[in-house]
A = this chain, B = another copy of it.
Amino acid sequence: MSELTEPLKQPAGRRPRVVIVGSGFGGLHAAIGLAKLPVDVTIVDRRNHHTFQPLLYQVALAVLSPANIAQPIRSILRKQPNTEVLMDDVVGIDQTAHLVILGSGAQLEYDYLVLATGATHSYFGKDEWAPLAPGLKTIEDALEIRRRVLLAFELAERQMQEHGWHPPLDFVVIGGGPTGVELAGAISDIAQLYMRRDFRHIDPATSRVLLLDAGPRLLAAYPEDLSAKAHEELARLGVEVHVTSPVTGIGPGWVEFNGQRINAAVTLWAAGVQASPLGKLLGAPVDHRGCVLVDHHLNPAAMPEVFVLGDLAHFEQDGRQVPGVAQPAMQMGDHVGRIVSADLAGRSRPAFRYFDKGDMATIGRMAAIAKVEWPFKAHWSGFLAWATWLTVHIFFLIGFRNRLAVFAAWIWTYFTFTHGARLITGDQRLPGWHEQVAAGPAEEQTPASSC
């Protein structure tokens, strides 16, 4: 054991101060894990709400409202007297003076610092792609994707009614991880099932959904049989999956891959993530995505008072990096409480070990894939996996009211084939649409049966 297993020396004459930056799964669980300890906790986030990211794609596709999957951090932690919430940006960390520097200019002293600011999109250096192909990390991102997808149908209807043709309703999702798979399946659902009865001129079912991935198979983090199942289920929904297809260009209204340029009414980005810039601010070693390398106490090298959690952390176990999903983040958050508790008691620090209960992703209306690791091992797909997914996600949603509301929205959507939150807010422009209209109809772009 290294010397870091030794408990940290505690400040004399006052309670230790813990500053947590970020209120995702990691930050929130760290706060909750510290609730009963004699420490003073401040949790800082630039947003006032915790977002249940696994259901963000359902906000993007108009099944749920933002308030169904987000909860004010203050409300969640209301009954925790040792914790306060501050809505602010973190712009710097002074490790010598043990200070977190905030966007408002103020400074927070800490004895322990917990960084859990997660990850954001990475366009692999092509930042000019960002406005053309939004990603899905925040409520605002979800509303922007919703706006674009719904607007594409409206603009196509208008174009068809006025000019007798419309640019093809092709939706291109880049990236075949869980988010890309979920987005592609959900867009296919919306076009094939939910929008059909609402338009007079276009047939939403003629729209295409393409899912592109640079690697050799979808859901690379899952076992091969589940990747194959997901591929199969997506094909059944009409999604055109292209693997080994790195995207080489994105422009207004088009995407380039494998040497071809295809039309894209809406392009969505689910391909790359990079760690929040806060990791680099820390000055500790990071991996190629900016994730901070942490040891089995979740500390960066030689920083026993700093914990890095969740998507921001690079933690290896059994020779593999623990994935950037909700479960490890929660468990890491919980573990911070255990370590601080050990420090306070003068005990040696317990090592963190990720306990993988399994993982899953939905593929449209009634299918999912699940890799179950606990309480038994199994690979599931189809309806059973989907039912499991529903149950688990309802259970982990924060707030009884949200659980009820999401359950009601799902029941409603499932039985009535209507999405309840189909509102377009914001402006009426869709990047690339004007260019496609100006280019005029191509022969294959105006199916004769589209009326």
- Chain A residues in contact with chain B, CB under 8 A? 46-49, 65-68, 70, 72, 74-75, 78, 84-89, 102, 104, 106, 139-140, 143, 150, 154-155, 157-158, 161-163, 197-201, 401-402, 404-405, 408, 412, 416, 418, 420-426, 428
Contact = CB atoms under 8 A, between A and B. Distances in A.
- Counted per complex, copies of this chain come to 2
Nearest to A198: B74
Contact of A423 (B67, B163, B420, B423): B67
5 nearest A-B pairs in the assembled complex, by CB-CB distance: A106-B162, A67-B421, A74-B198, A65-B65, A87-B154
A399 to B, nearest CB: 8
A72 B423 contact: yes
A48 B86 contact: no
Contacts of A157: 85-87
Given A72-B422, A401-B412, 18 more contacts: A46-B428, A47-B424, A48-B154, A48-B422, A48-B424, A65-B67, A67-B423, A75-B418, A84-B161, A84-B201, A87-B155, A87-B157, A87-B424, A106-B158, A106-B161, A140-B425, A140-B426, A401-B418
A363 B126 CA distance: 53
21 contacts: A46-B428, A47-B424, A65-B66, A66-B421, A66-B423, A67-B420, A72-B423, A74-B199, A84-B161, A84-B200, A86-B161, A87-B157, A88-B158, A104-B158, A104-B162, A139-B423, A140-B425, A143-B425, A401-B416, A401-B418, A405-B420
Nearest to A46: B428
